[in-house]
Amino acid sequence: MAEFTMELNDEQKEVRDWLHGFAADVIRPAAAEWDEREETPWPVIQEAAKVGIYSLDFYAQQYFDPTGLGIPMAMEELFWGDAGIALSIVGTGLAAVGVLANGTEEQIGTWIPQMYGDANDVKVAAFCSSEPDAGSDVASMRTRAVYDEAKDEWVLNGTKTWATNGGIANVHVVVAVVDAELGSKGHASFIVPPNTPGLSQGQKFKKHGIRASHTAEVVLDNVRVPGSCLLGGKEKLDARLARAREKAKKGGERVKNAAMATFEASRPAVGAMAVGTARAAYEVALEYAQTREQFGRPIIDNQGVAFQLADMRTSIDAARLLVWRASWMAINGKQFTAAEGSMSKLFASETAKKVTAQAVQILGGNGYTREYPVERMHRDSAIYTIFEGTSEIQRLVIARTLAGIPIR
């Protein structure tokens, strides 16, 4: 087990500086353009692929960093560059985590490389869980998967929403109901291969922030996938469903479903994204406060501004520490007995919203215009308290964990 430390080692510092350079030199100069275009920044993703950032190997190296700090460090630097473009670069990772968390070794080796493509032909993947009537309440999911034993195929029907890369992805990972009587325990995850008939893109959303990241509905109309596309395999699913039915009869403890397992693994990473955006806004505000003069002196000399900056920096550092703690615990197999993963996501996301709002205030009228990046950062920050579990859901998870109440 790696010792918890707040000091990055030399290799991690080298990776951090490399990512920071890419964010500063490639992502930031393109941020305003792709935010206005509201389109997937394919050229930037391709540049990331060329240098090795957008690749399975890079994320695997960070994911298996024994300190647990590889992924949060990478997320913070990329999202420091720009949240919308960064999410386009890392969005495939959620689908990849879904396969890593639930798939067999053969499925991992087969499908994750197809999610990324290569530097000459980049691909993206989508994780499809939320539905129009089932966001935080995953037990209300309506998308169904029915097994056709004669053909060894699963037939999927339903509509997914809020899917990053939905409809444009090469590979879709879809969570569906296989046993409605078991509620959230009757869910399973499926791979939908490229060009599968019946899968189509529904509405593409025009968003308040992270506009360079593609978000859309995914419609599944009698989508047939081979039995081998059930993550984990049918034998494992049947055994899990049998245990769930037995526990339901006995009124036993609840078991986690596929979607919740994926989100639980990714929440500290989302916290790191929020830290990156908050840090970027803070740095802009700090520099502005040091150079902007009013009444014959820099505005940072005014206590009202200086104290805001002090609070901003304190909150950012506290958020990073919560994210690092949760990430270290996860890689070392320590249980989140106090919902530490949700704590990190909750505090970091709320910090990003507050810090970016303070940055806009410090810049005054300039902060409210698109001539300065804090306006975009403020819009982008709103998503962190919403996706992968709202702040309200994080508080619910934390409270129920502390009280010893099961979470569906």
Pairing of strands 171-177, 125-128: parallel
Give 202-242 as a DSSP string: EEEP--SS-TTS-EEEEEEEEEEEEGGGBTT-HHHHHHHHH
List all residues 6 or more positions away from 196 whose beta carbon is below 8 Å from its beta carbon: 223, 224, 225
Tokens encoding 259: 């979607």
Burial of 105 (0-12, 13-18, 19+ CB in 10 A): exposed
> Of all helices (H) and strands (E), which one includes residue 31?
helix 28-37
Return the SS3 of 339: coil
Q: Say which DSSP state 257 is in.
A: -
- Evaluate whether 77 touches 343 at the Cβ level (below 8 Å): no
Tell me how long the chain is.
Answer: 408
Active site residues: 388
Task: Enumerate the H helices of 251-339 as residue ranges.
Answer: 258-291, 303-331
Q: Say which DSSP state 2 is in.
A: P
Burial of 97 (0-12, 13-18, 19+ CB in 10 A): buried
